[in-house]
């Protein structure tokens, strides 16, 4: 049963005992995936830069990689946050469904896992492409990440919805 807001103070929601014994760690999967895909490129960019310096072959006349700009490293997570909004909505939806229908926790769990997985597959392109884009010596570096951000902002919710429906369908077939 959901808690109600009394006056100007909010009371927190505590899961029923039936949910507590099964654990709710799976509910945070969308937030963990969001954190990995949002902050991962910023962590990987310096690593890619150092590795590319170690492996750089100057005899091939390829320009050396450039050091990631500190401003880019600072602004990348907020920009990627807009592209990865479906992960936050998935967490919110999962929490809301658990509050409304705690008896269907098995179905909601499977749907959350499937939706997180479905949105994580295309997000790997952003996790790999953004650090490479940040150290690229090309003058138009950053356009690939910008295109992926726009693409994800508009379309990442589609695999999430498909994953949610597949998860709920599998749970329905398994009578969860």
pLDDT in tens, the chain (176 residues): 455 555 555 556 566 555 555 678 899 999 999 999 999 999 998 898 888 878 765 555 567 777 888 888 898 899 899 999 999 999 999 999 999 998 899 999 999 999 999 999 999 999 998 888 888 877 777 788 888 899 999 999 999 999 999 999 999 999 87
> What does the pLDDT read at residue 18?
56
65 touches 56 (CB < 8 A):
yes
Beta bridge partners of 6: 9
> What does the pLDDT read at residue 20?
58
Rounded to whole angstroms, how far apart are CA atoms 152 and 120?
A: 11
> What does the pLDDT read at residue 6?
52
Q: Where are the domains of the chain?
A: 70-176
Give the tokens for residue 3.
């808690």
> What does the pLDDT read at residue 68?
82
Task: Tell me the DSSP string of 145-165.
Answer: HHHHHHHHHHHTHHHHHHHHH
> What does the pLDDT read at residue 168?
95
- What's the pTM? 0.80
> What does the pLDDT read at residue 127?
93
> What does the pLDDT read at residue 41?
93
Please choose, from the candidates 98, 125, 121, 122, the residue with its C-alpha nearest in 3D space to the C-alpha of residue 110: 98
Cα–Cα distances (Å) from 168 to 11, 27, 51, 113, 114, in that order, read 30, 15, 43, 10, 9
> What does the pLDDT read at residue 59?
53
């Amino acid at each position: 049963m959901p808690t109600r807001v009394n006056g100007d103070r909010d009371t927190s929601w505590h899961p029923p005992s039936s949910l507590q014994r099964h654990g709710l760690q799976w509910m945070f999967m969308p937030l963990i995936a969001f954190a990995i895909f949002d902050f991962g490129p910023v962590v990987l960019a310096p690593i890619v830069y150092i590795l590319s310096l170690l492996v750089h072959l100057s005899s091939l006349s390829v320009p050396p990689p450039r050091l990631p700009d500190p401003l880019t490293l600072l602004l990348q997570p907020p920009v990627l946050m807009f592209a990865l909004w479906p992960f936050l909505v998935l967490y919110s939806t999962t929490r809301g469904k658990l509050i409304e229908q705690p008896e269907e926790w098995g179905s909601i769990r499977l749907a959350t896992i499937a939706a997180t997985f479905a949105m994580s597959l295309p997000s790997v392109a952003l996790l790999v492409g953004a650090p490479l884009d940040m150290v690229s010596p090309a003058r138009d570096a950053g356009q690939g990440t910008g295109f992926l951000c726009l693409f994800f902002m508009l379309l990442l919710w589609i695999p999430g919805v498909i994953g949610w429906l597949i998860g709920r369908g599998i749970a329905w077939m398994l009578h969860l």
